Amino acid sequence: MTDLVATALGYPTVVIGVFGLVSVVGGVLVYLFTIKPALSPLNVIPGPKSTHWLFGSLKEIIDTKWFNR
């Protein structure tokens, strides 16, 4: 296996291709999970204030009477 890696690293085209692929995949992931949600028009819709920094209003939703039916 190390011979295969050493051989692949000997070809600059392979190294550049792998680096390019990793860069593109990383860029797409950054866009999908940070930039796209931050620019969503749904962020402008008003709603209740969160009561917890992580769970939001989940406790209030679970404590409602209709949830237990």
**Tens of pLDDT along 52-66?**
889 988 888 888 777
pLDDT at residue 47 in the model: 84
Specify whether the CB–CB gap between 15 and 23 falls below 8 A.
no
pLDDT tens for the 69 residues of the chain, in order: 778 777 877 788 888 888 999 999 999 999 999 999 999 998 889 988 888 889 988 888 888 777 555
Domain edges within the chain: 2-68
Percentage of residues in the chain having pLDDT higher than 90: 33
pTM tops 0.85: no
